[in-house]
Structure 1
Amino acid sequence: MNHFIKSAVFVLVSLLVFSCNNTKKEESNSKPVEETAVLSAKDILGNPEYLAISYGGYRANSRDVQPTLLELKEDMKLLNAMGIKVLRTYNVHFNQAANLLKAISELKDEDSSFEMYVMLGIWIDCKNAFGTGDGEAIHTEGSDRNPVEVNTAVALANQYPDIVKILTVGNEAMVTWATSYYVTPDIILGWVNHLQNLKKSGDLPSDLWITSSDDYSSWGGGDASYHTEDLEKLAHAVDYISMHTYPYHNSYYNAKFWKVPESEATLSDKEKVDAAMLRALDFAKTQYYSVSNYMKSIGVNKPIHIGETGWATISNGHYGVNGSRATDEYKQGLYYKHLREWTSKENISCFYFEAFDEQWKDAANKDGSENHFGLINLKSEAKYPLWNLVDEGVFEGLTRDGKAITKTYSGNLEALMKAVLVPNTEYPK
């Protein structure tokens, strides 16, 4: 066993210890429902006993094929076994969100110890978004469907108040690189104020938290062009800040932190990869604290949680062998471990992106990175970050699409490590 493999074994053992600790916490925290107080977002967010994750559950290469109630229940049991207790969804366009809430409700009826909460996503976009209108996207106006999306989410939050604890208005809806659909902050602010007023009037639960989930720059942590009066008003209007950070994408678009520095040129390949992933962690921390500093500068003292971050395992594009070489399961394992350890220690909720691979996101390119952010793939195989959980037996008796959860690479660590890409010092962009 060479040094590369020995070091990987050490990482896997570390993941096992981290998982065991979480499992022990889960066991010690589990109580019969009659002994457990009704929890609000304030109790859940920032609580390391309540691990969070982003969830879609789509299996097919089109969202026209919705996950069934049985499939959703399968997934909920798997996530519960992983210690996940808070899910983030992205829209209520389709039946997925309503059926997910129904699935969770039925699981709670079947087992009084089952516990799962939802951050329900409200999709917001601009007029003529994605070329659906008569002309170019008009970013200062909202689409006609936004009110339908909001009203549907309100109805679901009232129907399932024991499950829906957060409503998030928009997903990366204000960041200007989302050229096909972004809106100006006043549009998000209008809907946040609308929801807050519904809480005041008793038309939504008073302890329901309202936020918007967006890129760190949209929350003032980046370019000063985002430092607007409307953004300040929005920061004061939400109950907490939900920010995104993606060192993975920045390994290509903002690569200074990712390239192997001269001081590390003599390190082994394994050491170069490990050092790069520590820099990735530092990159995420820097973006988080940049948002925190901006909020303090405008007099906002509210919790800041990570609404989205993750690492893909396959890419034939910018992040693959001919790009930043950031993509493989070993790096995903390190990033997942580092993020969970840091955020749990600092009482930051991290909606890790994402639970399962979903192939609809880049349907025309099966090896596109967007299809491969999941911790479990579409073959019902747990990727490297979860190998330790397979060894622990937490998935025993559980299936996805009728298949038992096994390990990628058949659990062959040496084969996995052969796929690990060492970051280039120089590469074309």
Structure 2
Amino acid sequence: MKRYLLIILFCIIASCESEKTNDAVQLTAKDILGNPDYLAMSYGGYRYPDAGVEPAIDQLKEDMKLLSAIGIKMLRTYKVHKPQAINLLKAIDELKQEDPNFEMYVMLGAWIDCKNAWTDQEPAHNEESEANAAQILVATYLANQYPDIVKAIAVGNEAMVKWAATYYVEPWIILKWVNHLQNLKQQGKLPKSLWITSSDNFASWGGGGEEYHVEDLNNLIKAVDFISMHTYPMHDTHYQPDYWLNQEGMAGKTDLERIETAMLRAKEYAINQYNNVKRYMESLGVNKPIHIGETGWASVSSDHYGPNGSKACDEYKEALYYKHMRDWTNETGLSCFYFEGFDEPWKGGSDPGNSEKHFGLFTVDGKAKYVLWNEVDKGTFKGLSRHGNPITKTYNGVFKDMMEDVEVPPTKAEWEANQKME
């Protein structure tokens, strides 16, 4: 607990440098979420294999300018027990002072664990970590310190989904902290316009198996201001591959047409998961906004999603998925906290080809992946840089070279043959 108390002290000291005045009318989460003029993105700014190397304020500012240049105005963070989230708010605040027209808002994440999470002891999923209270306390403080930036708090990240076996909690724990924050709003100890949610897998919100359909989840759905649900068709090209292997309508099509058909199916797969959550919510007599708290598509994979697996990951498919998700959510009036802005090399272990390292629209050293090549051509990133590098295209902008790494999704027979070889 001492570590968390030190973090709280750090927050207070770092934030007391200036008193804020918020006389101007401020946008709220209700104004921002679902507004296509305020695109959303999940954000992690770690640039090194060691996540203990925190991004500096200037590096965070660099990232904010790049994301702002492509229309991102709402970010999602994950935890407050590392300085990144605190420094990010400070960086945004400084950018706003430097340029009154600069806009960037945040859904602040409070990380939630069960007791014994990430230890050699058996996780106790129906008990909570003592660190949770500190996460909520710091998130509350930051929301009050930066009300012009923090517009929502998400209690937990994939904290209820049962495949998160090392740390998941039962829904009553999330409900407890959501109710706590809602009570603070009612008492005037948090801005009343601040929206409270939890950001979790679609199944955790009732869109999957009946094992999730419990009374505590039902009460949680009633307690949050909106549902923040995750959907990952890319992962399910391995775990639930039937939609990906479907050859219906593929006969006579070119390889490119087959890829594009598969990616349209990925979009429909995500929409179906959204609709499942919506149906479950409405079955409870509840009608609240649902936004996509996380979705994405990796550009590289040496694991399940690569050449010897589902052949899902490359920059071409990533670009198609990004466009499909932006088109659907913008047309439907949803926010999509797309995962993610920048590759993060600390994720996924020591294998440099692990897909978890390659979900960004930008590489670590500032190359724009295919999804952003048009923005490079338009001069969107003129004068901007990352890691000391101007923004250039991956593959030196040679489309033919990029397409050499693009593979057609396998047939069922090809898939089964690959599975036998593993």
TM over 0.5: yes
Unaligned runs of 5+ in 2: 1-21
Contact preservation (8 Å) 1:356, 1:376: yes
Contact preservation (8 Å) 1:260, 1:423: no
The TM-score with structure 1 as length reference comes to 0.90
Contact preservation (8 Å) 2:364, 2:387: no
Match of 2:103 in 1: 115
After superposition, where does 1:130-169 map in structure 2 within 5 Å?
A: 130-131=118-119, 135-169=121-155
Cα deviation digits, residues 351-394 of structure 1 (max 9, x gap): 00000000111241111000000000012100011111101101
After superposition, where does 1:398-417 map in structure 2 within 5 Å?
A: 398-417=384-403
Give the secondary-structure state (helix, strand or coil) at the position aligned to 2:303. Answer: coil
Shift of 1:37: 3.7
Give the secondary-structure state (helix, strand or coil) at the position aligned to 1:60. Answer: coil
Q: Which of 169, 173, 177 is the equivalent residue of 1:183?
A: 169
Q: Which of 69, 72, 81 is the equivalent residue of 1:81?
A: 69
Match of 1:192 in 2: 178
Match of 1:99 in 2: 87
Give the secondary-structure state (helix, strand or coil) at the position aligned to 2:330. Answer: helix
Contact preservation (8 Å) 1:260, 1:272: no
Give the secondary-structure state (helix, strand or coil) at the position aligned to 1:170. Answer: strand
Contact preservation (8 Å) 1:73, 1:107: yes
Give the secondary-structure state (helix, strand or coil) at the position aligned to 1:258. Answer: helix
* 1:71 aligns to 2:52 (yes or no): no
* 1:227 aligns to 2:213 (yes or no): yes
How far apart are the structure 1 equivalents of 2:204 and 2:296? Answer: 18
How far apart are the structure 1 equivalents of 2:271 and 2:34? Answer: 16
The AA in structure 1 aligned to 2:315 is: E
Give the secondary-structure state (helix, strand or coil) at the position aligned to 2:245. Answer: coil
Unaligned runs of 5+ in 1: 1-33
Contact preservation (8 Å) 1:56, 1:358: yes
How far apart are the structure 2 equivalents of 1:146 and 1:365? Answer: 31
Cα deviation digits, residues 174-230 of structure 1 (max 9, x gap): 000111100000000000000001111111111100000000000001101111100
After superposition, where does 1:8-23 map in structure 2 within 5 Å?
A: none
Contact preservation (8 Å) 1:260, 1:424: no
The AA in structure 1 aligned to 2:282 is: K
* 1:44 aligns to 2:32 (yes or no): yes
How far apart are the structure 2 equivalents of 1:51 and 1:413? Answer: 27
How far apart are the structure 2 equivalents of 1:35 and 1:375? Answer: 36
Say how many residue pairs are matched: 395
How far apart are the structure 1 equivalents of 2:248 and 2:183? Answer: 56
How far apart are the structure 1 equivalents of 2:300 and 2:25? Answer: 42
Give the secondary-structure state (helix, strand or coil) at the position aligned to 1:263. Answer: coil
How far apart are the structure 2 equivalents of 1:405 and 1:300? Answer: 45
How far apart are the structure 2 equivalents of 1:36 and 1:162? Answer: 10
The TM-score with structure 2 as length reference comes to 0.92
Give the secondary-structure state (helix, strand or coil) at the position aligned to 2:263. Answer: helix
Moved over 3 A (4+): 34-37
CA change 1:107–1:181 in 2 (3 A) is: same
Match of 1:21 in 2: none
How far apart are the structure 2 equivalents of 1:337 and 1:169? Answer: 29
How far apart are the structure 1 equivalents of 2:238 and 2:23? Answer: 50
Q: Which of 46, 50, 55 is the equivalent residue of 1:58?
A: 46
* 1:236 aligns to 2:244 (yes or no): no
How far apart are the structure 2 equivalents of 1:139 and 1:371? Answer: 28
Give the secondary-structure state (helix, strand or coil) at the position aligned to 2:249. Answer: helix
RMSD: 1.4
The AA in structure 1 aligned to 2:127 is: E
How far apart are the structure 1 equivalents of 2:92 and 2:356? Answer: 27
Shift of 1:263: 3.4
Cα deviation digits, residues 86-139 of structure 1 (max 9, x gap): 00000001000000000000000000100000000000010011225xx20000
